[in-house]
């Protein structure tokens, strides 16, 4: 069984006693470490107004990570397009491509990335929040980031050229992301690479991949379907430590699923010392069945089998290992350890 290539999805987690600055510093160090380990890509998510997530602005984090790394691809997983004007997204990623030529991925999603109140605040600019125009907005961005740019044609006659940057020498790779049939079918129809948000969605992976592959139509940029899998992963020297380090994120996800108030991630000790919640426990047990938790050898074998089962040669890890009380606030030892054990 072949070993899949590994990548990283980072939400820039924030734990007890940690500032945003320390959380971002720890993620930048992890990106550098992933680069040194030879991992394929490093993506930042977009979430808003969540106490435990500092990944609010992927382009800013991508620029910071690109400047600290040498070879790894860096990108968004993803930019939530209805929150942004397509031209602004195109300009941001054209600038990133100029900053790190040949290393930029623009992953695009359709979800809001937050609750209804924050979604309203993000979309006060009007047409930015027009979800129904998502397919045409994706096409607009794909055209504007190309060296030739896009052309606006007026109904009254005449044309107007639009370029995301004046003299582009390359363009970021565009991926469609999602957790529903819609995004899989849209990616297939437009001949784009596609990633199903398996780390977040509980079900639907098999159907989404089947729809994408069976309906795929070749495009100028992609001749055959291209996809990989995302997975929540914790690896440690012992299974006991791995399970302990997984608990803070599991409890946070259970609170989210249960519509309970969110807070910063607990430390391992805080999570272990918390009183069991009867409503959360079934959710945590369900996660334990879907996540990849164990020793390095165990997780490596499980990931290889997972990749083979679904016919992919890359897995994007969401390293969700929590931290112990005494571990440095500007580092992420559990997540670093996870990568080390899976690459060993």
pLDDT over 90 (residue 139): yes
Backbone angles phi, psi at 174, to 5 degrees: -100, 130
77: enclosing H helix or E strand: strand 73-80
Whether 74 and 100 have beta carbons less than 8 Å apart is answered as yes
Whether 16 and 267 have beta carbons less than 8 Å apart is answered as yes
Whether 313 and 276 have beta carbons less than 8 Å apart is answered as no
> In this predicted model, what pLDDT tens digit does every residue of 58-107 receive, in sequence order?
999 999 999 999 999 999 999 999 889 999 999 999 999 999 999 999 99
> In this predicted model, what pLDDT tens digit does every residue of 232-280 receive, in sequence order?
999 999 999 999 999 999 999 999 888 888 999 999 999 999 987 888 9
**Could you give the domains of the chain?**
5-343 (3.20.20.30)
Among 5, 42, 37, residue whose Cα is nearest residue 27 = 42
pLDDT of residue 276: 76
pLDDT over 60 (residue 334): yes
State whether residue 137 is helix, strand or coil: helix
Q: What percent of the chain has pLDDT over 70?
A: 95
**Whole-number average pLDDT of the chain:** 93
pLDDT over 80 (residue 296): yes
Contact residues for 125 (Cβ-Cβ < 8 A; gap 6+): 85
Q: Residue 79 pairs with which residues in a beta bridge? A: 108
pLDDT over 60 (residue 113): no
> In this predicted model, what pLDDT tens digit does every residue of 21-60 receive, in sequence order?
999 999 999 999 999 999 999 999 999 999 999 999 999 9
pLDDT over 70 (residue 114): no
pLDDT over 60 (residue 185): yes
- Predicted TM-score (pTM) of the model is 0.94
pLDDT of residue 123: 67
Residue linked to tokens 């992420």:
332
DSSP code of residue 145: T
Q: Residue 161 pairs with which residues in a beta bridge? A: 151
Cα–Cα distance between 199 and 212 in angstroms, integer?
Answer: 18
């Amino acid at each position: 069984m072949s070993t899949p290539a590994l990548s990283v999805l980072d939400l820039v987690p924030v734990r007890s006693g940690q500032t945003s600055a320390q959380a971002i510093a720890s993620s930048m160090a992890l990106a550098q470490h992933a680069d040194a380990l030879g991992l394929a890509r490093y993506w930042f998510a977009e979430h808003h107004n969540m106490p435990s997530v500092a990944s609010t602005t992927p382009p800013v984090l991508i620029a910071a990570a690109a400047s600290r790394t040498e070879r790894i691809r860096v990108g968004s997983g993803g930019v939530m397009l209805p929150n942004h004007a397509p031209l602004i997204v195109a300009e941001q990623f054209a600038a990133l491509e100029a900053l790190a030529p040949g290393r930029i991925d623009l992953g695009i999603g359709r979800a809001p990335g937050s609750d209804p109140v924050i979604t309203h605040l993000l979309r006060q600019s009007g047409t930015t929040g027009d979800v129904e125009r998502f397919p045409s907005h994706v096409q607009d961005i794909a055209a504007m980031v190309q060296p030739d740019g896009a052309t606006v044609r007026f109904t009254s006659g005449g044309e107007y050229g639009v370029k995301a940057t004046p003299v582009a020498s390359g363009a970021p790779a565009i991926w469609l992301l999602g957790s529903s049939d819609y995004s899989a079918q849209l990616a297939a129809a437009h001949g784009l690479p596609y990633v199903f948000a398996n780390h977040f969605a509980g079900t639907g992976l098999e159907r989404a991949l089947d729809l994408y592959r069976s309906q795929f139509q070749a495009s100028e940029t992609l001749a055959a379907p291209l996809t990989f899998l995302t997975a929540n992963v914790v690896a440690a020297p012992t299974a006991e430590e791995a399970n302990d380090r997984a608990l803070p994120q599991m409890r946070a996800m259970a609170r989210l699923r249960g519509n309970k108030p969110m807070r910063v991630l607990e430390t391992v000790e805080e999570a272990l010392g918390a009183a069991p919640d009867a409503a959360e426990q079934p959710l945590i047990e369900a996660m334990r069945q879907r996540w990849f938790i164990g020793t390095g050898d165990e997780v490596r074998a499980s990931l290889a089998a997972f990749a083979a089962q679904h016919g992919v040669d890359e897995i994007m890890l969401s390293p969700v290992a929590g931290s112990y009380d005494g571990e440095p606030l500007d580092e992420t030892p559990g997540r670093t350890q996870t990568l080390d054990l899976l690459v060993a």
